Amino acid sequence: QVQLQESGPGLVKPSQTLSLTCSVSGDSISSDSYYWSWIRQPAGKGLEWIGRAYSSGSTNYNSSLKSRVTISVDRSKNQFSLKLSSVTAADTAVYYCARDRGQWLGNYYYYYKDVWGKGTTVTVSS
Amino acid sequence: QSVLTQPPSASGTPGQRVTISCSGSSSNIGSNIVNWYQQFPGTAPKLLIFINNQRPSGVPDRFSGSRSGASASLAISGLQSEDEADYYCASWDDSLNGVVFGGGTKLTVL
């Protein structure tokens, strides 16, 4: 049974870099057909996709966050990470990591988030 | 402002059938699949429907999804009190080159 667990500081100062790690158990992060994603949710608001990374290192980012985001995969530790620079209070949210499973359909792979971590709350405050 | 548009709320009585809409455009739902997620307060979202109308193992067949043109719908039949939750649609957007979510619909069972 695949499990994902987020970890990292719960409090980050404005202008600093938010760093979170998602540890994967029960499966190899190097497996084919998976992307590894980060999603966040401000209190009382909806879900916002941050970005995703493939085990090879290729990435896709939310265009509104792209200049500040880095998602990377560490195959040796079976984990992936999120770095968000120059944070402000607007970055305060619950941060989730998730596995994107791919399914071949016609001529394309289509992805859906089939496993989620429990989430970790990050507050940006001085 | 979310790229995908959902009604902020929906409601129904036990046993009723409720539908939640998700409206997009040609760059997302119109050309890509739709997934639906269910979220209870204080917990992580859970995959409910994938690739428009597929149910993961363990999801009751009371839940069904459909997609037509640039819109999608989630239907819940035989509504139960435990279905009270937030529901989110999601799709890939070719113009933004990323995943887009709907703003979420809070379902209340009266």
What DSSP assignment string belongs to B12-69? E-TT--EEEEEE--TTTTTTS-EEEEEE-TTS--EEEEBTTTB--TTS-TTEEEEEET
**Contact in structure between B101 and B2 (CB atoms under 8 Å):** yes
| Interior angle at CA B52, CA B60 and CA B35, nearest 5 | 80
DSSP element (H, E) containing A96 = strand A93-105
A46 closest CB neighbour out of B33, B47, B103: B103
Tally A–B CB contacts below 8 A. Answer: 61
- What single-letter DSSP state applies at residue A91? G
- What single-letter DSSP state applies at residue B2? -
On chain B, the residues whose CB falls within 8 A of the CB of A116 are: 44-46
| Interior angle at CA A53, CA A60 and CA B52, nearest 5 | 75
Q: Do A105 and B33 touch (CB under 8 A)?
A: yes
Query: For A65-86, how does the pLDDT look when each residue is reduced to its tens digit (9 = 90+)?
Result: 999 999 999 999 999 999 999 9
Question: Could you tell me the pLDDT band of residue A56, with boundaries at 50, 70 and 90?
Answer: confident
**Contact in structure between A4 and A117 (CB atoms under 8 Å):** yes
Query: For B82-104, how does the pLDDT look when each residue is reduced to its tens digit (9 = 90+)?
Result: 999 999 999 999 999 999 999 99
Question: Could you tell me the pLDDT band of residue A55, with boundaries at 50, 70 and 90?
Answer: confident
Rounded to whole angstroms, how far apart are CA atoms A24 and A22? 6
- The pair of three-digit structure tokens given for residue B58, joined into one six-digit string: 């363990």
Rounded to whole angstroms, how far apart are CA atoms A22 and A6? 4
pLDDT at B1: 84
pLDDT in tens, chain B (110 residues): 899 999 999 999 999 999 999 999 999 999 999 999 999 999 999 999 999 999 999 999 999 999 999 999 999 999 999 999 999 999 999 999 999 999 999 999 99
Residue where the block lists tokens 């560490």: A74
- The pair of three-digit structure tokens given for residue A60, joined into one six-digit string: 């896709």
Written as one letter, the residue type at A26 is G
pLDDT at B53: 97
